[in-house]
Amino acid sequence: RKLSQYKTTEATKIAIEAGFCHIDCAYAYQVEEEVGLAIRSEIADGTVKREDILYTSKLWSTFHRPELVQSFLKRSLKKLHFDYVDLYLIHIPTAMKPGEELYPKDENGKILYDSVDLCATWEAMEKCKDAGLARSIGVSNFNRRQLEMILNKPGLKYKPVCNQVECHVYHNQKKLLDFCKSKDIVLVAFGALGTQREKRWVDQSSPVLLDDPVLGALAKKHKRSPALIALRYQLQCGVVVPAKSFNENRIKENIQWHLCICFYFLKWEFGSGDFYFIRDDFILHFPQSSIYFNIHIFIHFEFFHLLTISICIVHLNGLFMFSFSSRSTFF
């Protein structure tokens, strides 16, 4: 546990120093204290200011009851030593029995679910925003029907600014992406380079995304890595693409990949033939999907917004704007 705590703190520091400004975390990852410590350390030594960081946290399923939502967010804020989070998401749409266990189970090992109206939970999320505890609110792992429940809620005050779901070339979420675009909701991908291959989540005989021959052929054609091909495809689809790593060199590579892709410094994109070659080849090729819980550290840029060498605008659906102008050395 101590090693894990140290790795999380150090990885977060490295990411911030490399130029990442959006840190995506959650109660369920059980690392908020460590991440908060890293951010405060970087603030204390003058590397960043609090307003330079876009911090995302998530409401866990055992706290979906409306009367628990705000107190649960305050618990996260206390661990972080923050006054607010920049983005607060409902982690998954399914409610579980209230309590301290992440996955409450009965004597037979079955999950104990709770009956909570998602719309009531969303109203409590709106109150968190009104109270200044969350700058923006959104959802994660929602399908179209669940999004429509929120969007069609009588008296809706704020719609979700984003929906974070597993999304990669083996599971491109095209229908959900099209729906989100039609409602001006940003789709954020996790597992952008393929499902995390833990035995409890994934059949180990399923194909490894980055070893796919189609990606390999396109990587050779465009003189890029298979990972860059996969990320470029997502960006051309209009998906916000995360980067995740605990490795210092990989973290630094990730920031360069994202900056290059988002600012077109690579000076390339897929022609329609390659783009649809990926879409047509992969659309029916889905290994088992999964939800995984870990820390994601990523930069969030909607690349079609105004960007310059010294001013980077991070924009989330018009409801949240974050300016970052003091770190042009990263370009």
Two tokens at 140?
């994660």
Two tokens at 316?
């989330």
Classify 198 as helix, strand or coil.
coil
Hunting for tokens 């003091």 — which residue is that?
A: 326
- Amino acid, single-letter form, for residue 142: F
Q: Which helix (H) or strand (E) holds 11?
A: helix 2-18
Q: Contact 17/42 with Cβ under 8 angstroms?
A: yes
Two tokens at 185?
């909701």
Q: Which helix (H) or strand (E) holds 123?
A: helix 118-130
Q: Contact 63/124 with Cβ under 8 angstroms?
A: no
Q: Contact 37/9 with Cβ under 8 angstroms?
A: yes
User: Strand 22-24 to strand 296-297: parallel, antiparallel, or no bridges (unpaired)?
Assistant: antiparallel
Q: Contact 9/23 with Cβ under 8 angstroms?
A: no
Hunting for tokens 């705000």 — which residue is that?
A: 70
Catalytic residue selected from 27, 29, 170, 233: 29
Phi, psi angles (nearest 5°) of residue 162 = -155, 165
The reply to whether 29 belongs to the active site is yes
Name the packing angle between helices 66-80 and 32-44 (round to 10°): 50
Judged by phi (left if over 0) then psi (alpha if -120 to 50, else beta), residue 166 lies in: beta
CA distance from start to end of the chain: 36
Q: How far is CA 157 from CA 122, 137, 218, in A?
A: 10, 11, 45
Q: Contact 144/298 with Cβ under 8 angstroms?
A: no
Catalytic site positions: 29
